């Protein structure tokens, strides 16, 4: 419903003013912290599984992975998993590294991997 109301706005902006060599740009917004919408980390509980289509089954091949990103199945059936969390940096190089680490702590599941 909100989308429908937003579509009925009384905005008389000329669409042709938004393109070309000199488009009308929106005002710049300066933020101490830019607006962010971060997803919460939610793990699977013990013995919890996603729902699959009838006739299919799912089972865990490994447990305790912190940040699995890519899977590759070898010809012999072995499965390689790439985890993406990098090791912690030994020192802070820039002031924004402190803030970046703080924000990343909200969206990571933790762990040492």
Closest CA to 50 of 65, 62, 63, 60: 60
What pLDDT shows up at residue 28?
Answer: 86
- Alpha carbon 61 to its chain centroid, in Å, reads 24
What ranges do the domains of the chain cover?
61-113
Please report, in tens digits, the pLDDT of each residue of the chain (113 residues total). Answer: 655 555 665 566 778 888 889 888 888 888 887 788 877 777 778 778 888 999 999 888 887 787 788 899 999 999 999 887 766 666 677 888 788 777 777 776 655 54
What pLDDT shows up at residue 56?
Answer: 93
H-type alpha helices, the chain:
2-6, 95-106
Residue 17 CB contacts under 8 Å (≥ 6 apart), including other chains:
23, 24
What pLDDT shows up at residue 11?
Answer: 63
- From first CA to last CA, the distance across the chain in angstroms is 44
What pLDDT shows up at residue 113?
Answer: 41
């Amino acid at each position: 419903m909100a989308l429908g109301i937003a579509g009925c706005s009384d905005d008389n902006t000329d669409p042709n003013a938004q393109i070309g060599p000199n488009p009308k740009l929106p005002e710049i917004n300066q933020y101490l912290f830019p607006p962010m919408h971060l997803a919460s980390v939610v793990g699977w509980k013990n013995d919890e599984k996603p729902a699959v289509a009838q006739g299919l089954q799912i089972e865990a091949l490994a447990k305790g992975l912190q940040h699995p990103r890519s899977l590759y199945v070898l010809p012999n059936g072995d499965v390689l998993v790439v985890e993406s969390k990098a090791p912690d940096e030994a020192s802070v190089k820039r002031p924004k590294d402190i803030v970046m680490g703080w924000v990343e702590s909200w969206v990571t599941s933790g762990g040492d991997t």
